[in-house]
Amino acid sequence: MATSPPIQRVGRCRFVIPRDAQRGMRVPCYIFAGEDFLEDIKGTKALEQAINVAHLPGIVMASIAMPDIHEGYGFPIGGVAACDLDEGVISPGGVGYDINCGVRLCRSDLTLDEVKPRIKEITDAIFQMVPSGVGKEGKLSLSRSETDELLVKGARWALEKGYGWPEDIERCEEGGALAGANPSAVSRKAYERGKGQVGTLGSGNHFIEVGYVEEVYDEKTAKAFGLFKNQIVFWVHSGSRGFGHQVCQDNLDVMRKTTEKYGIKLPDRQLDCAPFKSPEGQAYFGAMAAAANYAWANRQVLLHLVREAVSRVFGSSAEALGMKLVYDVAHNIAKIEEHEVEGQKKKLVVHRKGATRAFPAGHPALPAIYRESGQPVLVPGDMGRASYVLVGTSEAMRDSFGSACHGAGRALSRQQAKRTMSAEELLNELSSRGVYVRSATVKGLIEEAPQAYKDVDDVVEATVAAGLARKVVKTRPLGVVKG
């Protein structure tokens, strides 16, 4: 982008690029960010992508950029857009390659004093138990019929196979299974890539973290979530692995033709899309939902493996250790949701790419256990600093389709990150912060150095200042397993 478009301040950490800033925009662009970060993204590809999204047919209200926005494929990572079901489109670029990359948080009755002296033992046990790294396969190798069942049932499939507890299911967004999954819309190549990867962590920014609650900001909500100061918690961040990547690629290939077929004009071919109700749009939604359910099943098995590892270290059952799931949220997904637009309730297809659902207290989509408190919003940071648990607000429902930030957001590309320091320097730095790390590869570790990410404190402060969520607790890492 040669020049930055006009950006108007409309509130604290709230900015708007008006609809008339660029020819072809159908809606304005809302930016939720701090002043310093806004200056950083002016003239960048990420901001250009947010503006491009505003050109999508059927988009309503605004193209939305979260405080952790950075460049992605088509949509920026940290982008949200909702399209009318009848007149709008669905775009694979609005979900991304790692369909339903998401995070779950498990609490425990363990305390910092009990775990800190044994953190290496615990982290090593998890590393040995959980397959991690590029293309890594696990112990589960599924037949086509078994995979079909998993693609429809999601996390419940894993539960029925003995991985987890019944209460886990209600503590997952969508109950751990997105309706509308269509295994027949999935290619043979996607099946092959996903055959042995259920219960594997993967690579890139995927991780399992042993942390502790450093600060509690909202005692009542923290209690509702089962969280307390100096408590040990476990973060699990992974997605649909090679299966979801292939589903995305297959449908991008299709969408390159549908954009022209339906006469859709776009400023960027990475936004290639199809009318939601078209055969191509429905085929992508069915395959995307199947990949989302694959991811929920994957994280369900991963949590089971973490519970097993910790149980072995302490010689006590996971139940006795109080290792209950707090919540599981997706942050790369397209979902059919009902929202109020210009005073009318409408069903929309909401794309969230690098953004987390953040529904408020009282929302009917929330499980009974969180109906009074509001939805846990899980915001992992980087392996050297902090992560947060937030809670959704009514302002988010009004202004961002019930969405908030999903993490710290990258500040450096993977190539740039590798030039910042050596693996030895990084490990020494993390050790000085009291963090013990196990990684499948040195290369993958350096790419995920804390310096490669924005400071999650700043991202969360902007999210809270904009009214999209409230702080509940802050956690710090002790041990990290990286892909």
CB proximity list for 324: less than 8 A, separation 6 or greater: 106, 107, 108, 165, 167, 171, 226
CA angle 309, 383, 196 (to 5 degrees): 50
In which element (H, E) is residue 353 found?
strand 344-353
Q: Which residue stretches of 59-137 are H helix? A: 112-115, 119-129
Residue 119: both structure tokens together: 């953190």
For the chain, the distance separating the N- and C-terminal CA atoms, rounded to the nearest angstrom, is 34
Residue 406: both structure tokens together: 């999903």
How many C-beta atoms surround the C-beta of residue 71 within 10 A? 17
Identity of residue 18 = P
Length of the chain measured in residues: 483
Q: What is the distance between the alpha carbons of residues 166 and 169, in angstroms, rounded to a whole number? A: 6
Known catalytic residue at 406: yes
Strand ranges inside 101-226, DSSP E: 102-111, 207-216
Q: What is the distance between the alpha carbons of residues 98 and 378, in angstroms, rounded to a whole number? A: 18
Nearest Cα to Cα of residue 56 among 353, 405, 358: 353
- Confirm if 154 and 177 have CB atoms less than 8 A apart: yes
Q: What is the distance between the alpha carbons of residues 98 and 364, in angstroms, rounded to a whole number? A: 28
Q: What are phi and psi of 287, to 5 degrees?
A: -75, -40
In which element (H, E) is residue 457 found?
helix 456-465
Q: What are phi and psi of 104, to 5 degrees?
A: -125, 150
Residue 296: both structure tokens together: 């929920």
In which element (H, E) is residue 446 found?
helix 442-447
DSSP assignment of 389-408: EEEE-HHHHHHSSSEEE-S-
Q: What is the distance between the alpha carbons of residues 68 and 4, in angstroms, rounded to a whole number? A: 19
- Confirm if 379 and 460 have CB atoms less than 8 A apart: yes
Q: What is the distance between the alpha carbons of residues 223 and 362, in angstroms, rounded to a whole number? A: 18
Enzyme catalytic residues: 406
